[in-house]
A = this chain, B = another copy of it.
């Protein structure tokens, strides 16, 4: 048989046409399909209307090798996916006694006991379809072979859809895609503007497209973090892995020390691993970030091994009282200043009995800016285990949210650099 190369994803449900919900299943599905060498040609989001569904399914089956339909497999009258696919492909629906039995057993375990009559619809199966078990919900999936093509019906909730894809759909598709596979690598960069990184990186990555193993590069930016996603697809997995490794190497050495990870780790994991490796603990003193640096560090499971704690010193009284920053220093230089940042870092290190202290003090806005210290001005300091200190100033353009998010990244990156 001809290998499967193209796919289309149809998300079914009127709720996904409201301002409240968005189809995110397709991000998961695209990633998995790409990995096994299948390209996604189109996504459609369709309401619970029969005629619209039937046309969409019929057109998709005409255009693409694989059609994945998520949602609309529930028990209620507006769950139309089974009927629509039957109409589009001219297949009969029949009740599957085994599924019905399973549904009844499922409901018997509950307080209510009996299966609502509605749920009987979930036992409907398209003639010739393979039933895909759903251990996480009541709607089974269905796989229909259609000549060389495949039409796949999956439940809408991600916690049901994703395991069903991983267990049944992915492996079955992979057997029909030939040897072509896609591999990805990600380079993560802290504290640099997207435009600057792209200026350095694009002369390097643009030629990758025409190399022996062509590599595609996508640049993604979050506040304070830029990511280069490299991907290459083909039959020779060893050659692809080697080409990607070489590409990561040349980009990383051009970008330099602001690269904090090439293995997928977050900055809080990189910092945590560095602290663990050197058996050091950390304390955090925050003003404008208001606890978010500590929040990120403690997002990592097991972070209690190296995070002593933090002081969120929003008021000057807490800066001098709890952190021991001399009040005169604040009066003389202002709370957002190099000496105060440094005194906060040293103070939190001392007060909490940590090896490393990191401090952030800045003006997140919208108020509080002055001509000398505009909104977005942030001072950072790190006090290291051997009495070594570093200070750093950054002026971040943007609103309160952006300034805070940038400041969190820069603070964590300063610790990372200090620990090298």
Contact = CB atoms under 8 A, between A and B. Distances in A.
A291 to B, nearest CB: 3
- Size band of the A side of the interface? 35 or more
Contact of A322 (B20, B218, B304, B351): B351
A297 interface: yes
Interface stretch (A97-105, A112-120, A259-267, A307-315): A307-315
A303 B281 CA distance: 30
B31 A17 contact: no
B322 A18 contact: no
Number of copies of chain A assembled together? 2
A134 interface: no
Contact of A40 (B17, B31, B351): B17
Nearest to A353: B317
Say what secondary structure dominates the interface of chain A. Answer: mixed
A292 interface: yes
Interface string A291-329: 111110111011110011111111101100110000000
Given A284-B312, A292-B291, A310-B311, A42 B41 contact: no
A18 B230 CA distance: 12
Given A18-B218, A44-B44, A291-B291, A315 B307 contact: yes
Q: Which of A40, A299, A318, A368 has the most CB of B within 10 A?
A: A318
A19 interface: yes
Given A20-B27, A317-B353, 15 more contacts: A17-B43, A19-B27, A19-B28, A44-B44, A281-B315, A290-B294, A290-B299, A294-B312, A295-B295, A301-B365, A301-B400, A304-B315, A307-B315, A308-B315, A310-B310
Interface of A: 15-20, 22-24, 26-28, 30-31, 34, 39-47, 49, 52, 218, 220, 229, 281, 284, 286, 288-295, 297-299, 301-304, 307-315, 317-318, 321-322, 351-353, 365-368, 400-401, 404
